[in-house]
Structure 1
């Protein structure tokens, strides 16, 4: 049952207020607000990727309404690492106030700076590394190295008058990481000795017994699969998973294959990782995707995005035969990632589509081609025993993950009344090491739909689900058959769009021009004219709104 909504009291001086506004009850939208003495610190600012019940939505953002009118009080945003569910919403925050400082490691800041460049935002950044101390207003920060499925991840210790908070970000305890950078348990032990008043640990694998396997265990499996593949190999992974891409590069090089990156985010992120030295590219192994088409099938590996079944990502378009790379018999497709909860149906739909096309699909269920980037129960128990925190607020997980993490805390001696299963918008106050729930805000989802942010409502999404998932557009036109001249129309009606009807004013002249050009090229029948209208409107909708609605053209010849 959701917690009842009630307003928190005015914040007293010397009291730290903690409000998770994303990442609780879901895998994504990670964002936590810390406030004391009129100043605000934000840790992470991520996105949630849409599921099937969010048709047409590109991204889902945290609801920043609690601080929207107080952005001048924000002293900085600490970014624990460079995954989209922790940095993806930063551009939308900085649209509101561009000079909010961003604090993070070298790779993390490089990834977000590249993303912000696309939004034409030049951020103010402060690069930090493990062991570094920084003071931001009333917040004394210390950064701690943690191991994750992306290099340069950091936990952050936050000390205020109210006590110490330790926020882990995403982490695990791989003892043989590919970059030799382990989670700094010595620093954790020192912080535990100094006293951790509130601990916010990663909960994603809290219900998984034992220890998360090492990244190194994946290398031999990828090597074997790529080595035995008779034709092309397509590996799908997160576009920021530097370690996995490194393993693919090494395996391809060992078997005389070249590698082409597919997908804008993959090309961008791996270019950044290589430039900064986090990705070691064997000489001569990389090739441009256009040149890759000229290589023999048994000499190429494509590294792509789309491992979560995202409809617009490369792998889904391959499965739907909408990509220039056409999957065929005996091609090998490797899904080198775990399933984010909620994406199962989309992923298996892609697997089925690729299998129908004749591909051999290798994924986590039938081969060890991925390990998680999150600590399992055994690792979390170690951390609890090292830190001995007074209070625990599990974060980053669905309800079952948060509950499992709470149970682990209690097993290690944390008093049950000092553990908190919260949800987005729960308000907790800490004073002199004592934590209590003092409010519950009513927060919602903020949908990004093309260029629209927050203009889509849940009612609009309901319409979209009913109207063939992506909406419905009908176009009525009367044309003169010989010239293609439009006599009546175009009259356009649509359902399932948030925009006003006037939005189609931009495409009507394009339809008129396309019909005239088609007639000049010899088109005479109404069916051919209808296809011209469908293509013209379809291209416009896809490029302007990133949507794929049902388009029904009606063309009558006069």
Structure 2
């Protein structure tokens, strides 16, 4: 293959947003993908369950996709794997715990796939690519970055990382390997930008372990801890503290139970033989000897903690004397739901501990001083900030330039951009489609922005439906119109408003038809009714006409 063939770097998710991480590296007729994550919807996506990358570019060339490499087991990096593997049969490579988390998801979706376990230092050859995993410190065990050898040069893809000198589990970021890549010469660095706006260093996970130990030791009643179901190291901290202080643990929440069982089976959780309790055991166990670990750190409506806070959990009811620890930070967009849960917990009499009060969570991503270390070690020819909202990407690019990176060699990409790198340098190519794909119940990609706008319209201003029966020849009403509304007007104002709409329909359609194009008249009536309702209420309901020809 000619030396001038470009390496194409194509982000399909995760650049300009937190979540949906997916990067494609393409050389000639071979593609590899790094991470296939999801994003959780916010208030702008009513009725949407999940958001995944748009990988139509890959599907149109599926014979070129030779492998998927997963950096770690968080949802924003592996959550969309079942949806991709429904459409493409491709080998997957990742570390052991990541494989376990992926297999839990694939089992839920009844999908079988070729997922191979690798170790840091292992290198996999895929056509013109050689992909080596290297260890990084993050908030979940078995996190990795990738060193990707290509015919054009070496790419370092960090994945999510920080530099933690006292990590839980002893997994450090392999700075020595990165320094060696820098000495050999790196073509491109694609580095985590999540906390590029935060000065200094990210605190160690050890801080959280000490805080959890102190809170659990001081608590007089039950302790309830919620965190991400994939934060296995955080669950281990809770189990260790419970054991130290003579407590037993009950795990609740489907994803938490599944992940704890998987991690225990794989040896990633050390659980003493009689530590975990069944629902029947926790019911009769003394509160002062009980710790509950559950889902719900993001205020999810059906999660265990939300059901406890609202009083709808089958086994656990919050009561005075309980201590509830939220060992996570709200994901952007989830703040309102999280703080609503905190309020309900306080109202139920619980003591609530979250990160604004105590160090029960630390960031899993590098702050600015740690990013500087990576740049100085790797010394890439080109740089692309990844994994962050747009401001994070811009600030990370500016940091790289402040360390000596030529501005023309540092690129802020967004989803769908294509960076082409060859012997002559790097430049932007023609964009590819990289829209949001919405998961709505069983539907994948079956709703679009127009549907969401209608849902937002309905949520904000409600719905008005009017039904007219008209003569098919003249367009004249054959019986009085029917008008109804949902979510638009209260019981005091609705009758008068519906009567006003009905009268407008009678005034226009009830007399002798004078319009040759009466169908066009019905179309304009919809706008007239919307205008009438807005004048009377300053609201704009979704107006739906139903016309019956008789």
TM-score, normalisation: structure 2: 0.81
The whole-number CA distance in structure 2 between the counterparts of 1:205 and 1:391 is 20
Cα drift, residue 494 of structure 1:
12
Task: Please list, as runs of the form range in 1=range in 2, the aligned pairs for 1:206-285 lying within 5 A after superposition.
Answer: 206-285=196-275
Corresponding position of 2:32: 41
Secondary structure at 1:417 match in 2: helix
Residues 162 and 433 in structure 1, CA contact (< 8 A), matched pair in contact too: no
Q: Per-residue CA shift, 1:156-213, capped at 9, x if unaligned?
A: 1111112111101101111111111211100000011111111110111111111111
Corresponding position of 1:90: 81
Give aligned pairs, total.
Answer: 466
Task: Please list, as runs of the form range in 1=range in 2, the aligned pairs for 1:524-535 lying within 5 A after superposition.
Answer: none
The whole-number CA distance in structure 2 between the counterparts of 1:470 and 1:430 is 50
The whole-number CA distance in structure 2 between the counterparts of 1:260 and 1:303 is 6
The whole-number CA distance in structure 2 between the counterparts of 1:470 and 1:342 is 22
Cα drift, residue 366 of structure 1:
0.6
- Name the CA shift for 1:369/1:193 in 2 (closer, same or farther; >3 Å): same
Corresponding position of 2:294: 304
Task: Please list, as runs of the form range in 1=range in 2, the aligned pairs for 1:62-81 lying within 5 A after superposition.
Answer: 62-81=53-72
Cα drift, residue 65 of structure 1:
1.6
Q: Please point out which of 379, 401, 411 is paired with 2:402.
A: 411
Q: Does 1:22 align with 2:13?
A: yes
Task: Please list, as runs of the form range in 1=range in 2, the aligned pairs for 1:360-509 lying within 5 A after superposition.
Answer: 360-432=351-423, 434-468=425-459
- Name the CA shift for 1:447/1:495 in 2 (closer, same or farther; >3 Å): farther
Residues 13 and 36 in structure 1, CA contact (< 8 A), matched pair in contact too: no
More off after superposition, 432-441 vs 369-378: 432-441
Residues 197 and 434 in structure 1, CA contact (< 8 A), matched pair in contact too: no
- Name the CA shift for 1:295/1:416 in 2 (closer, same or farther; >3 Å): same
The whole-number CA distance in structure 1 between the counterparts of 2:323 and 2:462 is 35
Residues 57 and 433 in structure 2, CA contact (< 8 A), matched pair in contact too: no
Residues 260 and 301 in structure 1, CA contact (< 8 A), matched pair in contact too: yes
The whole-number CA distance in structure 1 between the counterparts of 2:279 and 2:227 is 17
Corresponding position of 1:293: 283
Q: Per-residue CA shift, 1:242-298, capped at 9, x if unaligned?
A: 111111011111222111111111111111111111111133211123421121222
Corresponding position of 1:120: 110
Residues 13 and 37 in structure 1, CA contact (< 8 A), matched pair in contact too: no
- Name the CA shift for 1:389/1:256 in 2 (closer, same or farther; >3 Å): same
Residues 15 and 161 in structure 1, CA contact (< 8 A), matched pair in contact too: no
The whole-number CA distance in structure 1 between the counterparts of 2:211 and 2:460 is 38
Residues 4 and 422 in structure 2, CA contact (< 8 A), matched pair in contact too: no
The whole-number CA distance in structure 2 between the counterparts of 1:148 and 1:495 is 48
Secondary structure at 1:212 match in 2: coil
Residues 3 and 151 in structure 2, CA contact (< 8 A), matched pair in contact too: no
Cα drift, residue 445 of structure 1:
1.0
- Name the CA shift for 1:60/1:213 in 2 (closer, same or farther; >3 Å): same
Q: Which has the larger radius of gyration?
A: 2
Q: Per-residue CA shift, 1:87-112, capped at 9, x if unaligned?
A: 01010001112x21001111111211
More off after superposition, 144-153 vs 62-71: 62-71
More off after superposition, 40-49 vs 325-334: 325-334
Cα drift, residue 470 of structure 1:
13
Q: Does 1:55 align with 2:46?
A: yes
Cα drift, residue 12 of structure 1:
9.9
Q: Please point out which of 350, 366, 391 is paired with 1:359.
A: 350
Consecutive unaligned residues of structure 1, counting only runs of 5 or more, are 1-10, 475-492, 497-558
Q: Please point out which of 88, 93, 106 is paired with 1:103.
A: 93
